[in-house]
Amino acid sequence: MSRFARNTVTSLETVRELKAIGVDVYFEEQKIHSMSGDGELMLTILSAFAQEESRSASDNQKWRIRKAFENGELMNIRTLFGYRITKKKGIEIDPEQAEVVREMFTRIIRGDSLMSIVRWLNRNEHFGAFGGKWTAGRLREALSNEKYMGHSLLQKAFRNNHIEKKLLPNQGELPQYYATETHPAIIDEATFEAAQQALERIAAQKPASKPWEHHIFTGMIICSVCGKPYRHVKNHGKSRWACPTYIMEGKAFCESKQIPEEIIMRMACDLLGWNSFDEEAFRQEVDHITAVYPHTLIFHLRDGREERLEWQNRSRSESWTPEMREKARKAARRKNDGKNSD
């Protein structure tokens, strides 16, 4: 593909945008002015040639890779924790990382949870490719990867087309090939199968996901300490909003406080002069809220105003419902009856 033809694929849209505001682009080699009708026609033709050339090159590359898959050749492997790739020796085991891989499999088979193994990996800085931290999802993928047995399931993914080149999972669109002994193994097949059984047990124990719940202030409350949007949490049946950094990392990383939802709604009603809270009207009036440590909410209104308000938790006695009071009264009576019987 010529350099000019290759560039026109991405530059034609830019040239037309410049043309729309009266800016002429002159291509010296081709002696073309973009403002002329001939120039627009020539750019379109060149772009079409370039796209066809790109499609042809892409098809040739795909054919080469698929023929290699059919022959059981391992292609396009770049990074896999536990291995290293060199030009001279190809794929070889990384001894230090391989020990970590074996420990990962040992722990999942003996019944450790995915998150406990993740914490062990990250705490000991056994980071994955490119230094990334492990997550439960990444760990599950690693423990399910047949390449640790020295085998390879080929064509797990494919590119959608030669223009977007998005990598998509192969869910039956193209044939897959299972090749054995394509590279050195870190674990044996018995260990791998035992790990798959452990993962199946974990999946079976996982409760069904709850349907998505809409919450009034989702994306609306921003923590002034770390900048993250507050999350909805429930505590003893009460709706509250809290910073995710505080929830996950603790007070040492973010000192923000949980805010009862009813307090935010009451403050919004007082600010906007409402008798009752209206979510749709609230989102029309308020752009977002900044939560400032320890007890301040800044309402950023859509008309440009900012209102800074202080909030306070109700006292414990004020927050008790009649049911809570009755339960406490019965508990106190039982306690006193027990003392009198002694």
DSSP 202-253: HHHHSPPPPPP---TTTTTEEETTT-PBPEEEEETTEEEEE-HHHHHH-TTT
The mean pLDDT of the chain is 77
Yes or no: say if 107 and 117 are a contact pair by the CB < 8 Å rule.
yes
Residue with tokens 């030669």: 162
- 183-198 pLDDT, tens digit each: 889 999 999 999 999 9
Residue 127 pLDDT > 70, yes or no? yes
**Positive or negative torsion for Cα 71, 75, 77, 83:** positive
Q: In this structure, how many other beta carbons lie within 10 angstroms of the beta carbon of residue 205?
A: 8
Nearest alpha carbon to residue 174 among 163, 159, 186: 159
Question: Which pLDDT score is estimated for 139?
Answer: 93
Residue of higher predicted confidence among 331 and 82: 82
Which pLDDT score, from 0 to 100, does residue 8 have? 47
Q: Does 12 score more than 90 pLDDT?
A: no
**SS3 state of residue 305:** coil
Instruction: Return the pLDDT at 148.
Output: 92
109: tokens are: 């088979």
Question: For 214-234, how does the pLDDT look when each residue is reduced to its tens digit (9 = 90+)?
Answer: 788 998 999 988 888 999 988
Q: How far does Cα 93 stand from its chain's mean position?
A: 30
Alpha carbon of residue 164 to chain centroid: 21
Residue 160 has a pLDDT of 60
Least confident stretch, 73-77, 221-225, 247-251, 294-298: 73-77
| Among the ranges given (174-183, 241-250, 329-338), the one the predictor scored with the smallest mean pLDDT | 329-338
Given a cut of 90, is residue 151 above it in pLDDT?
A: no
Q: Which residues, including other chains, have CB under 8 Å from residue 165's CB and lie 6 or more apart?
A: 159
pLDDT at 4: 45
pLDDT beyond 80 at 109: yes
Rounded CA separation 24/157 (Å): 43
